[in-house]
């Protein structure tokens, strides 16, 4: 397990290779469709500082509010592909070092990772309880009223948030590798049948 | 049967299904982990730890608590209309207690009803036929990510060289597993419906998920095919979450429906590793959960 503390510089991110297991510590934000559209089309001043050398988590959490403030109850990753039209711009404009989600992303994001020194981290789908517990504190939330709880930008402090590098900053994608290998294997089987 | 008791039993059935993996599923995940190495092993280990923490704290295993599918077998003493009201009350209460996420969205207005009730939601299948005083309720929570991995084929399928025979069926199932990669939160379980019409074929594929993972199909031909497909798919090296590895699926379960001569459908449904299904059985006023 490779430990990453946020904010992070380009060099340690460049060292990461596809298949590496990481544990993330520090402050990151959640963002889904509405937030990505906002970040690309508008200024995003309120999150610019935390995104510089920071990470974006594709997650629509189940949250609870008490006297002690907000708490993440369930917080597994959501499918990242929906953000493909925006992510390359977000990485370039805000200096984001990693995007966390599930299912991987496309060619444009992979190219942006290579150009700007960023990676795609795959969280484990369905890991709702563990990932919510790795969120030690909810610092603040932006656009809660406008976007609703699942789509709002939650600024969270995480501790040992587990994920796997599936797209690195050298143009490699574990998703592409697994797809290629499994397709070849399936074709071999089909040829025997 | 007292209404209040039924309400309580149904709420407990929903809690159990959402928060505690069935023992056969957990055993299969453990066996898969023990056979793996590296990141495939650690991924399965995280899943098992998540299942354990969910059970201990009575929290949903996954935040997508899916669509609710109930199968109800009951005796002549129970009224379906009255029972329906109990189911709706239990679903509302389970949503209020955060055992279920609000998951009923109107596709036209885009509005979420907020309580999991809606047109066709929850899904209730009633079957009278049990003796008086008996009730069996099976519940499955079917998550959206895994549901998106379902595919229906109409044979013959030229691109797969799949004809209207068992070889054709096998080709379809392998293709569905390949297309799914890890997107449905692998290791999954495949339910396969052979024959039927477009609707009943998919229904058969879903009903297969109520079978225990470690059972053997009573039809020897299907039993052999299930075994062969399980082994073949696990040779694709897609692995947990599609990270590579031997455990791509935990099981393949097949069932058939008679078809009309003109159609030959093969439907494949995908159930994610967070394979949530449980059963409530009532006899002589006593409830047992399986
Ligand atoms: S596919 Fe299953 S485990 Fe994955 S996010 Fe959906 S419900 Fe959860």
Q: B-contacting residues of A 113-152, CB under 8 Å?
A: 122, 124-130, 133
Interatomic CA distance for residues B271 and B184, integer angstroms? 7
For residue B50, is it within any domain? no
**Residue owning the nearest CA to atom 3 of ligand 1:** A126
Please tell me whether residues B176 and B126 are part of one structural domain.
no
Q: Are residues B137 and B186 in the same domain?
A: no
> Does residue B250 share a domain with residue B121?
no
Pocket of ligand 1 (CB under 6 A): A 76, 125-126; B 62, 64, 66, 143-146, 184-185, 272, 274
Q: Which residue has the tokens 């069996």?
A: B136
Contact predicate B211/B199, CB 8 Å: no
Determine which one of A36, A58, A116, A122 is catalytic: A36
Q: Is the pLDDT of residue B61 over 90?
A: yes
**Among A117-121, A148-152, B133-137, which stretch is predicted with the lowest mean pLDDT?**
A148-152
Residue A76: which of A24, A124, A27, A32 has the closest Cα? A124
Residue B26 lies inside a defined structural domain of this protein: no
**ipTM metric:** 0.92
Among the partner residues A61, A178, A193, nearest to B242 by beta-carbon distance: A178
Question: Which burial class, exposed, middle or buried, applies to A105 when counting CB atoms under 10 A from its CB (0-12, 13-18, 19+)?
Answer: buried
> B262 with B158, same domain?
yes
pLDDT at B111: 85
Assess whether B187 and B81 both reside in one domain.
no
Q: Is the pLDDT of residue A161 over 80?
A: yes
Which of A21, A76, A186 lies closest to B178 in CB terms?
A186
Task: Indicate the number of domains in chain B.
Answer: 2
For position B1, what pLDDT does the model report? Answer: 73
For residue A77, the ligand 1 atom closest to its alpha carbon is 5
Tell me how long chain B is: 290
**B5-56 pLDDT tens trace:** 999 999 999 999 999 999 999 999 999 999 999 999 999 999 999 999 999 9
Cis, bond preceding A105 (omega within 30 deg of 0): no
Q: Which CATH number, 2.40.50.140, 3.40.50.720, 3.20.130.10, 2.30.30.100, labels domain A2-191? A: 3.20.130.10
Domain membership of residue B183 as a residue range: 145-271
What value does the mean pLDDT take over residues A113-136? 96
B110 vs B267, higher pLDDT:
B267
Are residues B89 and B99 both part of a single domain? yes
**How close, in Å, is residue A57 to chain B by CA atoms?**
15
Q: What is the pLDDT of residue A103?
A: 95
Q: What is the per-residue pLDDT across B154-197, written as a single tens digit (0 to 9) for each?
A: 999 999 999 999 999 999 999 999 999 999 999 999 999 999 99
Q: How confident is the model at residue A8 (pLDDT cuts 50, 70, 90)?
A: very high
Same domain, residue pair B258 and B195: yes
Pairwise CA distance, residues B152 & B202, whole Å:
8
DSSP A170: T
**Looking at the structure, do residues B105 and B120 belong to the same domain, yes or no?**
yes
* Active-site annotation holds for A122: no
pLDDT band at B225 (very low <50, low <70, confident <90, very high): very high
Is B282 within a domain?
Answer: yes
Angle at B257 between CA B255 and CA B259, to 5 degrees: 140
Is there a single domain that holds both residue B193 and residue B257? yes
Q: Say what the pTM is.
A: 0.94
Q: Is B33 part of a structural domain of the chain? A: no
pLDDT confidence band for A114 (50 / 70 / 90): very high
| Mean local confidence (pLDDT), A85-95 | 97
Question: Are B194 and B252 a contacting pair, CB within 8 Å?
Answer: no
Residues A174, B273: C-beta atoms closer than 8 Å: no
Q: Give the number of other CB atoms < 10 A from CB of residue B119.
A: 8
User: In terms of domains, do B76 and B182 share one?
Assistant: no
- Are B8 and B129 in the same domain? yes
- Minimal Cα–Cα distance from A42 to chain B, Å? 25
The domain limits of chain A are: 2-191
CATH number at residue B103: 3.30.1330
């Amino acid at each position: 397990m490779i430990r990453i503390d946020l904010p992070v510089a380009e060099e340690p991110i460049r060292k990461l290779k596809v298949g590496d297991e990481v544990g993330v510590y520090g402050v990151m934000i959640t963002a889904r469709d509405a937030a990505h559209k906002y970040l690309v089309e508008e200024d995003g001043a309120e999150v610019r500082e935390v995104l510089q050398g920071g990470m974006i988590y594709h997650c629509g959490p189940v949250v609870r509010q008490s006297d002690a403030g907000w708490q993440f109850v369930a917080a597994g990753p959501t499918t990242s592909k929906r953000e493909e039209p925006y992510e390359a711009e977000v990485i370039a404009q805000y200096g984001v070092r990693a995007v966390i989600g599930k299912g991987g992303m496309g060619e444009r994001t992979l190219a942006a990772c290579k150009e700007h020194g960023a990676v795609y981290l795959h969280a484990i789908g369905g890991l709702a309880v563990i990932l919510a517990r790795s969120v030690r504190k909810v610092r603040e939330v932006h656009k809660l009223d406008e976007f609703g709880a699942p789509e709002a930008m939650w600024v969270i402090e995480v501790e040992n948030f587990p994920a796997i590098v599936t797209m690195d900053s050298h143009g490699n994608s574990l998703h592409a590798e697994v797809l290629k290998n499994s397709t070849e294997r399936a074709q071999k089987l089909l040829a025997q049948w | 049967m007292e209404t209040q008791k039924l309400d309580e039993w149904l709420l407990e059935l929903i809690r159990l299904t959402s928060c505690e993996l069935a023992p056969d599923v957990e055993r299969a995940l453990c066996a898969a982990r023990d056979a793996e190495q590296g990141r495939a092993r650690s991924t399965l280990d995280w899943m098992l730890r998540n299942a354990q923490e969910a059970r201990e704290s009575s929290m949903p295993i996954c935040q997508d608590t899916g669509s609710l599918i109930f199968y109800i077998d009951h005796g002549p003493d129970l009224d379906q209309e009255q029972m329906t009201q109990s189911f709706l009350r239990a679903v509302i209460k389970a949503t209020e207690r955060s055992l279920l996420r609000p998951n009923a969205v109107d596709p036209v207005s885009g509005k979420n009803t907020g309580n999991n009730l809606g047109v066709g939601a929850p899904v209730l299948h009633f079957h009278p036929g049990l003796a008086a005083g008996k009730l069996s309720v099976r519940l499955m929570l079917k998550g959206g990510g895994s549901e998106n991995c379902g595919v229906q084929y109409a044979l013959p399928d030229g691109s797969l060289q799949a004809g209207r025979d068992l070889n054709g069926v096998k080709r379809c199932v392998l293709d569905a597993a390949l297309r799914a990669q890890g997107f449905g939160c692998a290791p999954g379980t495949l339910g396969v419906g052979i024959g039927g019409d477009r609707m009943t074929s998919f229904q058969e594929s879903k009903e297969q998920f109520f079978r225990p993972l470690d059972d053997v199909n009573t039809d020897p031909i299907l039993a052999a095919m299930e075994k062969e497909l399980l082994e073949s798919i696990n040779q694709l090296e897609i692995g947990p979450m599609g990270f590579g590895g031997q455990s791509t699926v935990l099981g393949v379960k097949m069932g058939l429906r008679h078809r009309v001569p003109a159609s030959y459908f093969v439907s494949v449904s995908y159930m994610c590793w967070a394979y949530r299904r449980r059963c409530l059985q009532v006899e002589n006023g006593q409830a047992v959960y399986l």
